[in-house]
Amino acid sequence: MPGARDLPHPETASLVLTDVLFALSDPSRLELVRRLTQGPLEVAACQPTGGDVPKSTLSHHLKTLREAGVIRNVPEGRQRYVSLRRQDLDGRFPGLLDAVLGAPSPPQSTPGR
Amino acid sequence: MPGARDLPHPETASLVLTDVLFALSDPSRLELVRRLTQGPLEVAACQPTGGDVPKSTLSHHLKTLREAGVIRNVPEGRQRYVSLRRQDLDGRFPGLLDAVLGAPSPPQSTPGR
DNA sequence: TCGATTGTTCTAAAATTGTCGAACCGTTAC
DNA sequence: GTAACGGTTCGACAATTTTAGAACAATCGA
């Protein structure tokens, strides 16, 4: 049983807070994390809404999130499923993800005009 | 009314989540924030424990935190007082600061020995 | 007033991070 | 097999961020 195409994921106990905060500090990565709360996505579906980001760029962001322990990226046949490591994050950093996800996402929602 | 030496601080309502996360994603900045929970500090006291960081470097970190809205930096006579904008942060991003401050700070707290 | 104190700002170099094309690797379809 | 898919990795370059010395600004004490 050869094709073990698994990427490395940090253990829950060794997740580093500042790495998680950094991974979440990028708007496009954070938006993806928000979408992942709805459920796992295949990589192609991780594209920003309507955006057309090169595969390598997207893959790089996924790597940042994965190495910080925010997401899991597992092979499934010919594609990959990306999912939020919610329980792990909640276990190690209680309340953090909820606070981040509950916070107002856009800088401000242009009121008037 | 001359010596208005006040630095700009963003309004609470306009704080941006990703900016806050980024500001907190640096270990030395985060450590400072933790210390600020004890109360305001003058800039010189913001030096990392035992560390000897150049003034300009420290000032730059303070700027990052200030512009993100994490701290307030006000002149007081010849020095300046740095304080955590806890209420503002709690108001805009409920639970975020508590979660960050409650989280394990070091990568791992070597248990045994 | 002069000088020491306390910190910010300016400028430039070093280090990180982001972006993207090209090469590459398993998997599945033909 | 071999080609098409779905994605990661590699390498290079651009953009940010970090670091730090030097210059500068405001305040206080003598």
- Mean pLDDT to the nearest integer, B51-59: 94
Question: Cβ separation of A14 and B103 shorter than 8 Å?
Answer: no
Q: Which chain B residue lies closest to A26 (C-alpha atoms)?
A: B18
For residue range A7-45, what is the model confidence (pLDDT) as tens digits? 999 999 999 999 999 999 999 999 999 999 999 999 999
In degrees and rounded to multiples of 5, residue A68 shows phi and psi of -80, -15
User: pTM for the complete prediction?
Assistant: 0.93
- Mean pLDDT to the nearest integer, B82-100: 98
| Disruptive mutation site among B30, B100, B101 for chain A (greatest number of A CBs within 10 Å) | B100
Enumerate residues near strand C (beta carbon within 7 A). A 2-3, 5, 22, 26, 28, 53-57, 60-61, 64, 75, 77-78; B 7, 42-44, 55-56, 58-60, 62-63, 73, 78-80
The one-letter amino acid at A67: E
Nearest CA distance, A84 vs chain B (angstrom): 18
DSSP assignment, residue A7? P
A 38-77, residues with C-beta < 7 Å of strand D: 42-44, 55-56, 58-60, 62-63, 73
For residue range B16-42, what is the model confidence (pLDDT) as tens digits? 999 999 999 999 999 999 999 999 999
For residue range B64-78, what is the model confidence (pLDDT) as tens digits? 999 999 999 999 999
pLDDT at A110: 43
Closest residue by Cα to residue B16 from A103, A6, A70: A103
For residue range A34-89, what is the model confidence (pLDDT) as tens digits? 999 999 999 999 999 877 899 999 999 999 999 999 999 999 999 999 999 999 99
Distance CA A17, CA A19 (A): 5
Distance CA B103, CA B28 (A): 15
Distance CA B54, CA A28 (A): 34
Distance CA A88, CA A15 (A): 9
pLDDT of residue B112 exceeding 70? no
Distance CA A8, CA B92 (A): 36
DSSP assignment, residue B107? S
